[in-house]
Structure 1
Amino acid sequence: MSFGTFLIAKCHSSVSMWIYVLLGNILRGIGETPVQPLGISYIDDYAQSENAALYIGCVQTISIIGPVFGYLLGSLCAKIYVDIGYVDMETVTITPADARWVGAWWLGYLIAGAITLMSAVPFWFLPKSLPVPVENISALNIPLKQKFGSTHGEIHSFSKCPHAEFVPTLKSLLGNPVFTIYLCVTIIQFNSLIGMVTYKPKYIEQHYGQSASKANFLMGMINIPAVAFGMFSGGVVMKKYKLGIMGAAKFAFGTSLLGYFLSLLFFVLGCENSKVAGITVSYTGVISGSLFSDCNSGCLCSRREWDPVCGENGITYVSPCLAGCTFSTGSGRNTVFDSCRCVAVANTQPGNLTATLGQCPRRDSCDKVFPYFLALSVLSSFIISLGGTPGFMLLVRCIKPELKSLALGIHTLATRTLAGIPAPIYFGAIIDTTCLKWGYKMCGGRGACRIYNTSSYRIVYLGLTLGLRTVSFFFCILGFSVLKRHIKMEEKNALTNGNTELELLRKEENSSIHCEQFILALDCNHDRETRL
Structure 2
Amino acid sequence: MARNFIRETLAKENETFLRRMEIPNKDSWSPENGPTSVRRHPFCSSLKMFLVALSFAYFSKALSGSYMKSTITQLERRFDIPSYLIGVIDGSFEIGNLLVIAFVSYFGAKLHRPKIIALGCLLMSLGTFLIALPHFIIGRYKFETSVRSSANSTNNLTLCPTSVLVGNHSSTLSSTGCENESRLSMWIYVLLGNILRGIGETPVQPLGISYIDDHALEDNAAFYIGCVQTISVIGPVFGYLLGSLCAKIYVDIGFVNMESISITPGDARWVGAWWLGYLIAGLITLISAVPFWFFPKSLPVPEGRLAKCSPERTSFIKDSPGLDHKYQADEQFSFVRLAKEFLPTLRSLLGNPVYVLYLCVTVIQFNSLIGMVTYKPKYIEQHYGQSASKANFLMGVINIPAVALGMFSGGVLMKKLKLSIMGAAKFALGTSLLGYFLSLFFFAMGCENAKVAGITVSYEGMESLSHQNSTLFVKCNAHCECSKTEWDPVCGENGLTYVSPCLAGCRMSRGSGVDTVFEQCNCVAGGNLTAYVGHCRHRESCQRVFPYFLALCVITSFIISLGGTPGYMLLIRCIRPQLKSLALGFHTLTTRTLAGIPAPIYFGAIIDTACLKWGHKKCGGKGACRIYNTTAYRIAYLGLTLGLRTASFFLCALGLVVLQRHIKRQENGTLSNGNTGHTVAELQALRKEETHNSHSDQSPRTSDYDPERETRL
Band the TM-score falls in, shorter-chain normalisation: 0.7 to 0.9
Distance 2:245 2:525 in 1: 40
1:477 equivalent among 653, 657, 676 = 653
**Quick one: structure 1 residues 415 and 394, their matched pair in 2 at CA, closer, same or farther if it must change by over 3 Å?**
same
Distance 1:393 1:318 in 2: 54
- Alignment deviations for residues 318-358 of structure 1 (CA, whole Å, 9 cap, x no partner): 0001111110010111110011111123x9xxxx7111100
Q: 1:41 Cα deviation (Å)?
A: 7.3
TM-score (norm 1): 0.82
**Quick one: structure 1 residues 258 and 38, their matched pair in 2 at CA, closer, same or farther if it must change by over 3 Å?**
farther
Moved more, 68-77 or 259-268: 68-77
The DSSP-based 3-state class of the residue aligned with 1:71 is: helix
Which residue does the alignment assign to 2:197?
28
Q: Is the Cα–Cα contact under 8 Å of residues 248 and 394 in structure 1 kept in the other structure?
A: yes
The DSSP-based 3-state class of the residue aligned with 1:328 is: strand
The DSSP-based 3-state class of the residue aligned with 2:529 is: coil
**Quick one: structure 1 residues 104 and 216, their matched pair in 2 at CA, closer, same or farther if it must change by over 3 Å?**
same
Q: 1:418 Cα deviation (Å)?
A: 1.4
2:385 equivalent among 184, 200, 209 = 209
Moved more, 386-395 or 43-52: 43-52
Q: Is the Cα–Cα contact under 8 Å of residues 47 and 136 in structure 1 kept in the other structure?
A: no
Q: Is the Cα–Cα contact under 8 Å of residues 50 and 239 in structure 1 kept in the other structure?
A: no
Distance 1:72 1:151 in 2: 53
Distance 1:78 1:48 in 2: 45
Matching of residue 440 in structure 1 with residue 616 in structure 2: yes
Matching of residue 150 in structure 1 with residue 319 in structure 2: no
Q: 1:81 Cα deviation (Å)?
A: 1.8
**Quick one: structure 1 residues 195 and 339, their matched pair in 2 at CA, closer, same or farther if it must change by over 3 Å?**
same
Distance 2:410 2:224 in 1: 11
Which residue does the alignment assign to 1:523?
none
Which residue does the alignment assign to 1:526?
none
Distance 1:174 1:205 in 2: 43
Distance 1:358 1:210 in 2: 14
Moved more, 111-120 or 455-464: 111-120
Distance 1:476 1:35 in 2: 32
Which residue identity is paired with 2:408? F
TM-score (norm 2): 0.63
Moved more, 176-185 or 467-476: 176-185
1:459 equivalent among 621, 629, 635 = 635
Q: Is the Cα–Cα contact under 8 Å of residues 330 and 336 in structure 1 kept in the other structure?
A: yes
1:340 equivalent among 514, 521, 529 = 521
Which residue does the alignment assign to 2:27?
none
**Quick one: structure 1 residues 441 and 187, their matched pair in 2 at CA, closer, same or farther if it must change by over 3 Å?**
same
Q: Is the Cα–Cα contact under 8 Å of residues 4 and 83 in structure 1 kept in the other structure?
A: no
Q: Is the Cα–Cα contact under 8 Å of residues 10 and 17 in structure 1 kept in the other structure?
A: no
Q: Percent identity?
A: 72
**Quick one: structure 1 residues 151 and 57, their matched pair in 2 at CA, closer, same or farther if it must change by over 3 Å?**
closer
**Quick one: structure 1 residues 269 and 390, their matched pair in 2 at CA, closer, same or farther if it must change by over 3 Å?**
same
Q: 1:306 Cα deviation (Å)?
A: 0.3
1:119 equivalent among 255, 279, 288 = 288
Q: Is the Cα–Cα contact under 8 Å of residues 2 and 83 in structure 1 kept in the other structure?
A: no
Q: Is the Cα–Cα contact under 8 Å of residues 309 and 358 in structure 1 kept in the other structure?
A: yes
1:18 equivalent among 187, 192, 205 = 187
- Alignment deviations for residues 104-158 of structure 1 (CA, whole Å, 9 cap, x no partner): 22222211112122223344455645769989999xxxxxxxx856299998789
Distance 1:285 1:105 in 2: 37
Which residue does the alignment assign to 1:77?
246
Which stretches in structure 2 are left out of the alignment for 5+ residues?
Answer: 1-134, 142-176, 687-713
1:108 equivalent among 277, 282, 302 = 277
Distance 2:481 2:454 in 1: 16
Alignment of 1:266-281 (within 5 A): 266-281=442-457
Distance 2:422 2:500 in 1: 61
**Quick one: structure 1 residues 450 and 21, their matched pair in 2 at CA, closer, same or farther if it must change by over 3 Å?**
same
1:5 equivalent among 133, 139, 144 = 139
Which residue identity is paired with 1:390? P
**Quick one: structure 1 residues 190 and 57, their matched pair in 2 at CA, closer, same or farther if it must change by over 3 Å?**
farther
Q: Is the Cα–Cα contact under 8 Å of residues 276 and 317 in structure 1 kept in the other structure?
A: yes
The DSSP-based 3-state class of the residue aligned with 1:243 is: coil
Q: 1:415 Cα deviation (Å)?
A: 1.8
Q: Is the Cα–Cα contact under 8 Å of residues 206 and 452 in structure 1 kept in the other structure?
A: yes
Distance 2:433 2:441 in 1: 14
The DSSP-based 3-state class of the residue aligned with 1:283 is: coil
2:589 equivalent among 413, 425, 434 = 413
Distance 1:379 1:481 in 2: 29
Q: 1:409 Cα deviation (Å)?
A: 2.4
Aligned pair count?
A: 490
Moved more, 477-486 or 196-205: 477-486
Q: Is the Cα–Cα contact under 8 Å of residues 2 and 86 in structure 1 kept in the other structure?
A: no
The DSSP-based 3-state class of the residue aligned with 1:310 is: strand
Which residue does the alignment assign to 2:26?
none
Distance 2:302 2:674 in 1: 26
Matching of residue 401 in structure 1 with residue 584 in structure 2: no
Q: 1:429 Cα deviation (Å)?
A: 0.7
Which residue identity is paired with 1:150? E
Moved more, 366-375 or 63-72: 63-72
Q: 1:422 Cα deviation (Å)?
A: 0.8
Which stretches in structure 1 are left out of the alignment for 5+ residues?
Answer: 139-146, 505-532
Which residue does the alignment assign to 2:502?
321
Distance 2:241 2:479 in 1: 47
The DSSP-based 3-state class of the residue aligned with 2:524 is: helix
Distance 1:232 1:133 in 2: 32
- Alignment deviations for residues 13-70 of structure 1 (CA, whole Å, 9 cap, x no partner): 5644333323322332233334445666788998879996x87766544333211111
Which residue identity is paired with 2:244? S
2:234 equivalent among 27, 52, 65 = 65
Moved more, 147-156 or 68-77: 147-156
Moved more, 437-446 or 176-185: 176-185
Alignment of 1:256-295 (within 5 A): 256-287=432-463, 288=465, 289-295=470-476
1:90 equivalent among 239, 259, 274 = 259
The DSSP-based 3-state class of the residue aligned with 1:280 is: coil
Distance 2:367 2:544 in 1: 31
**Quick one: structure 1 residues 353 and 152, their matched pair in 2 at CA, closer, same or farther if it must change by over 3 Å?**
closer
